[in-house]
């Protein structure tokens, strides 16, 4: 079997690469390691929100043409400039993001949302993830305004449908194990397809097969001690194969190999992502409460920023706590702000009581005496004169605590109280291989490896330490699209 372009992976980045290569005239095969029922990698577990530049409601209307008049009247959609996206990327990555890759991500973000729409997929406003209603008006916070209909599953199903329409050959149960590399050029891949080892030939290969988050051994080796104990939020198939195969042919390792995206995740979540549970395991509303460990002490500034700028780094903080666990505590004043899908389901590890003392006594493993002391000190430190406003960084923080809460601080004094037990859920790793803004994989001398392209989680250098929420799908789509185009052009000239 011979192709112009082989794409390795079956998530957002791979599908965008395959569609883009086909759009540019290439004969394309896509090899997905997972069986069909589990296809789509982390992308299929995603909420489906995309971070992209937009200048106001008119741009939102282009992405969501059926936006109703009342939705427009009742919503402040805001705007998100390229400068804001650059600033967010620079700030959260502590100025480490590769400027050329970051520029490609930001500048192509809005147009890539349009391109996904052109593949036949639909977007809706991301009301429940990214806006809060105060009074009669909803206001978007944090620069993300749309999500794909059907979430990550909807995204993956829509892109697979588009791939079929484009006559892309799709192989499931296709575990790619090695790149065929002859005379310093990529010639295809060797794969275990339904238990048969097969060589598939091509002029170009796009690797878009995820990071190493599901590889317990690499996690411990590169992220450090304790990471073997993290729960995997998504796919069990992302074990670093693409990174290893690229390194084997001389690719340059790049990015934050000891860093990853990890979040507060239900304590009793399964070891790997489960499609029937995924929404229920999120616990992202900590910004409205207080987080303590089992020693009864706070250890993060819950209100340092909107959660979209903190949630991806707080999993690591929880992993470092005794028992790799913590508690999010809320009182009745803020319970209405907790996302229903995440907090109010049978699988949530929740304790509820009318008084704080009773609540703490029911929280298994907790030093309740120290916890009560911590929460009383916290209550006394809240700046009660500053009005609470969940739509802005309201500055209603604490005063005099060694570890402040900077925004959205409310006293914990009005029952009923609720506490949720959380642990660390890893989403994806930040280390991988170096690519150019044209998605070519480069060697140690920064020279493209002929015929090799990469996109998605394994294309590194974009995220360090942290991540602005909803950039993963945008990054996969932007660089997947670029990789597919570059691979098709290369394959044409290499033929």
Ligand X SMILES: Cc1cc2nc3c(=O)[nH]c(=O)nc-3n(C[C@H](O)[C@H](O)[C@H](O)COP(=O)(O)OP(=O)(O)OC[C@H]3O[C@@H](n4cnc5c(N)ncnc54)[C@H](O)[C@@H]3O)c2cc1C
Q: Does 49 bind ligand X (CB under 6 A)?
A: yes
Binding letters toward ligand X, positions 458-477, x by CB under 6 A: ------------xxxx--x-
Counting every residue written for the chain, the total comes to 495
Site residues for ligand X, 232-291, by CB under 6 A, read: 233-235, 237-238, 241, 273, 278
Give the nearest distance from C-beta 26 to ligand X in angstroms: 19
Q: Which two tokens stand for residue 175?
A: 């575990």
How do the residues of the chain divide into helix, strand and coil, expressed in percent and rounded to 5?
35, 25, 40
Q: Does 85 bind ligand X (CB under 6 A)?
A: no
Give the nearest distance from C-beta 236 to ligand X in angstroms: 8
Question: Is the CB of 41 or the CB of 484 nearer to ligand X?
Answer: 41
Q: Find residue 443's DSSP bridge partners.
A: 251
Q: Does 110 bind ligand X (CB under 6 A)?
A: no
Q: Does 11 bind ligand X (CB under 6 A)?
A: yes
Query: Which one among 6, 21, 33, 231 touches ligand X, defined by CB under 6 A?
Result: 33
Give the nearest distance from C-beta 164 to ligand X in angstroms: 16
Give the nearest distance from C-beta 65 to ligand X in angstroms: 22
Site residues for ligand X, 418-457, by CB under 6 A, read: 427-428, 456-457
Query: Which one among 7, 47, 382, 441 touches ligand X, defined by CB under 6 A?
Result: 47
Q: Find residue 264's DSSP bridge partners.
A: 424
By the 8 A CB rule, do 477 and 459 touch?
A: no
Query: Which one among 125, 142, 210, 289 touches ligand X, defined by CB under 6 A?
Result: 210
Give the nearest distance from C-beta 161 to ligand X in angstroms: 16
Contacts of 385 (CB under 8 A, 6+ apart): none
**Residue 48: CB atoms within 10 Å:** 26
Stretch that binds ligand X, among 3-11, 56-64, 179-187, 218-226 (CB under 6 A): 3-11
Give the nearest distance from C-beta 113 to ligand X in angstroms: 12
Q: At what angle do helices 151-165 and 12-23 cross, to 10 degrees?
A: 30
Contacts of 323 (CB under 8 A, 6+ apart): 294, 365
Report in angstroms the alpha-carbon separations of 334 from 249, 327, 330, 339, 378. 54, 16, 7, 11, 16
Contacts of 420 (CB under 8 A, 6+ apart): 266, 283, 327, 328, 343, 348, 349, 350
Question: Is the CB of 233 or the CB of 298 nearer to ligand X?
Answer: 233
Report in angstroms the alpha-carbon separations of 351 from 126, 286, 335, 418. 29, 15, 13, 6
DSSP 296: S
Stretch that binds ligand X, among 131-139, 204-212, 387-395, 412-420 (CB under 6 A): 204-212
Query: Which one among 7, 13, 28, 360 touches ligand X, defined by CB under 6 A?
Result: 13
Give the nearest distance from C-beta 10 to ligand X in angstroms: 3
Stretch that binds ligand X, among 32-40, 66-74, 91-99, 365-373 (CB under 6 A): 32-40
By the 8 A CB rule, do 6 and 18 touch?
A: no
Q: Which residues bind ligand X (CB under 6 A)?
A: 8-14, 31-34, 40-43, 45-49, 174-176, 208-210, 233-235, 237-238, 241, 273, 278, 427-428, 456-457, 470-473, 476
């Amino acid at each position: 079997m011979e192709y112009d372009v082989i794409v390795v992976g079956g998530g957002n980045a791979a599908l965008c690469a395959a569609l883009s290569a086909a759009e540019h005239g290439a004969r394309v095969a896509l090899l997905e390691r997972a069986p069909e029922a589990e296809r789509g990698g982390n992308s299929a577990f995603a909420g489906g929100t995309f971070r992209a530049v937009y200048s106001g409601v008119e741009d939102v209307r282009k992405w969501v043409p059926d936006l109703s008049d009342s939705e427009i009247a009742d919503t402040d959609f805001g705007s998100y400039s390229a400068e804001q996206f650059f600033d967010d990327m620079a700030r959260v990555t502590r100025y480490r993001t590769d400027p050329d890759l970051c520029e490609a991500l930001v500048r192509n973000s809005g147009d890539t949302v349009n391109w996904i729409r052109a593949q036949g997929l639909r977007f809706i406003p991301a009301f429940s993830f990214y806006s809060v209603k105060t009074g009669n008006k909803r206001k978007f916070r944090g620069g993300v305004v749309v999500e794909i209909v059907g979430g990550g599953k909807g995204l993956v199903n829509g892109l697979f449908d588009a791939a079929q329409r484009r006559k892309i050959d799709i192989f499931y149960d296709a575990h790619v194990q090695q790149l065929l590399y002859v005379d310093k050029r990529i010639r295809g891949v060797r794969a275990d397809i339904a238990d048969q080892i097969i060589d598939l030939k091509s002029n170009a290969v796009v690797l878009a097969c995820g990071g190493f988050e599901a590889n317990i051994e690499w996690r411990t080796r590169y992220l450090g001690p304790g990471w073997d104990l993290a729960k995997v939020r998504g796919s069990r198939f992302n074990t670093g194969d693409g990174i290893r195969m690229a390194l084997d042919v001389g690719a340059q390792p790049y990015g934050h190999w000891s860093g990853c995206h990890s979040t507060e995740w239900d304590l009793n979540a399964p070891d790997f992502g489960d499609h029937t549970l995924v929404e229920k395991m999120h616990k992202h509303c900590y910004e409205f409460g207080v987080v303590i460990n089992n020693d009864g002490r706070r250890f993060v500034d819950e209100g340092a920023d909107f959660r979209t700028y903190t949630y991806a780094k707080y999993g690591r903080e929880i992993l470092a706590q005794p028992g790799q666990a913590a508690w999010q505590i809320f009182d009745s004043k803020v319970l209405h702000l907790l996302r229903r899908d995440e907090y109010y389901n049978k699988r949530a590890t929740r304790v509820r009581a009318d008084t704080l003392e009773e609540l703490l006594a029911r929280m298994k493993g907790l030093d309740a005496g120290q916890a009560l002391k911590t929460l009383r000190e916290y209550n006394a430190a809240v700046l009660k004169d500053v009005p609470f406003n969940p739509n802005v960084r309201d500055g209603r923080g604490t005063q005099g605590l060694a570890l402040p809460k900077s925004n959205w601080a409310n006293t914990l004094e009005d029952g009923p109280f609720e506490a949720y037990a959380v642990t660390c859920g890893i989403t994806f790793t930040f280390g991988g291989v170096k690519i150019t803004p044209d998605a070519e994989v480069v060697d140690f001398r920064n020279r493209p490896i002929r015929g090799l392209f990469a996109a998605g989680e394994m294309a590194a250098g974009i995220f360090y330490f942290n991540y602005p929420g909803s950039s993963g799908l945008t990054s996969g789509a932007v660089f997947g699209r670029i990789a597919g185009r570059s691979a098709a052009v290369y394959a044409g000239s290499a033929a």
